[in-house]
A and B are shown apart, each in its own frame.
Chain A
């Protein structure tokens, strides 16, 4: 049994830096296009790239006028709002990918699963993005809370102010800077502390063997899952739902979790296949891919189930302050397209493409479906954040693609860097042999 190790080659690094550079160029280009020659040029330029951007820019003027006429306290639209909204989308998305890395490992330990031994090092590497995610989250939040989170405006909770909002005032005990920031810092700190404990024990197991480390890991994993059960929900309320502070959905925590979880599973599967293509991970065969494929397929349906449950409750109940969330997305010229694209690429495509047994066992189909699912859930987060922050000013152009590439390249770099540091195979895992003989 050799100590298989991933080698982060100079070529792979170069490719990642090229993607990063392209991302930066596209993002800058996107900003220039939004600014140069007013809205109409930007509209034309983006239309050439992504037809989806279509009506957003037209509606921009209308939306601004109505906003002013209604005396709303939203600041006028500025391109930095769009930049900040995009930073926030990517923060949420990649934080989710990182934390799902820990969650995946913990699920495997608590379930005492044997099949996953061969792929466990991939989520471990993903989670090493957590400290960077924490810094990015906190910094972006501090710099852009007024643009993204309406409730952070000063006058809303002051009864004498003309902008006084009794509903937001009622949530002051929860939505205030100290408590909010405290939660954010505490979540990241506890997630990361538990993760480094888990990683330490996983790596020690490589050297020591035996079952002591494994038993300890089961305990640590159980602790993490209990904490994550609460913290992921609360994080979803804080980081996404409080963008629309009048609206609330009791299902939102699970909704965000489902999106994160299926993205993470798709990402683990995709990386496992890529590593296999490069000649690593000889432990992983089509039986293990089948399990990963079932995970992606099943949790694509789970996401849809949660999405639909949330939608149907609001649709049935027909309460105006609740339906506004879907009216903003479904009745908008621009967002309604993304609303349905979101459902198609996150439910219909994975459901049909991964339905048969063979499609889950062949790397080629998984290699096509998993990137679709990953992008689809990025779009899901786009749809959660953008309509609330930018109203009808949202768009999808070079800026969006560029920032996505920048974040993606950073995440992959951090992940591969961490993957190369430790052995790729947990050779002394008590269930290593079981994983070798996994057969379904």
Chain B
């Protein structure tokens, strides 16, 4: 039943490795850009706040598919941005990471902002009473506590990101769902087996993330 796996025709592990790489690069990128956006959204400068709010509202209401297609067709093919990639494959991968970061960072930003809201107002007041500046209040007092309380929501964002990397198939990145589409076309007799293999692959990727980070979030949560 699963003999199509032994034919040597399909690089199953390779495809899932691309999925994992897309996830990791995009996760790091969106964590950085999302934190910056959250900082902007709570900053004392009105223009930065407006920019942060506008960015989040615009991007999170756009389909990820459209964001990635925009990166590939618009930035890549029309404007010829290559992001330092040499060949078709690496350019597609980098554009996909760019799109995933642009999209996922809005969810990271909203999670962190909700974490900032869980820190009691008295903490910020005490910090200000000590004469700390906005940057010090944010980086020394608020964000460390906020991060500890948003491990669980960030884990959900990470899991959603793992699943969202499949959308990169729409712009020709050879990750898991692209391989699945190819295999379903070639091995139509083993349709259910093919689906089972890929479903299992994603369960292996997402469930441990949820369980592990769920455990971590309980460990590090600030007891109040």
Partners in one complex: no
Q: Footprint of B on A, CB under 8 Å? A: none
